[in-house]
Amino acid sequence: MNVTLESVTINNFEVLMDMELPPEQARFLASNAYSIAQSHYYADWRPRAIYRDGSPAGFALYDVTGNDEPGHYAIYRLMVDYPHQNKGIGRRAMELLLAEIRGFADARRITICYKPDNVTARKFYASLGFVETNIDELGEMVAEIVLQ
């Protein structure tokens, strides 16, 4: 299995926007369509298509400004299309995303937020080295990886 992160383009954005999660997961994450629209208007947001063996399988989104804190990168979305779940794609995609962010010379901290009752996300992000720090103003758990 070959997982890659690709640009969101005219050739793949519609298939990415049409990806869905089952209702028990969808309540935890904004849709890809919403996220792609946001990335069009926020210049510092980086949308990434997740591909498995050359075909779209998911979506990720991160911010290179981290609320104007130098070296802070915030991951806003990670989703794997429901038919592709439980195959290791999400883990590999997150490893690639973290490597991409670590490749920025100023990277000092990476954060991600999720609903505190999303047990699967909590375990997954902890297994990747994220440490929970606090609950934000929206009631979401904030977890971080400090790089330096």
| Residue 68 pLDDT exceeds 80 | no
CATH number for the domain running over 3-146: 3.40.630.30
**What is the rounded CA–CA span in Å between residue 1 and residue 36?**
26
The beta strand positions in the chain, using DSSP E, are 3-7, 45-52, 55-63, 72-80, 109-114, 131-135, 141-146
Q: What confidence tier does 66 reach under pLDDT thresholds 50, 70, 90?
A: low
Q: What is the pLDDT of residue 26?
A: 76
**What strands, in cross-sheet order, belong to the sheet with 3-7?**
3-7, 45-52, 55-63, 72-80, 109-114, 141-146, 131-135
Q: Kindly list the domain boundaries of the chain, sorted by start residue.
A: 3-146
In the predicted model, what is the mean pLDDT of residues 109-131?
94
In the predicted model, what is the mean pLDDT of residues 22-29?
80
Instruction: List, in order, residues 6 or more apart from 10 with CB less than 8 Å away.
Output: none
Place of tokens 């934000």: 136
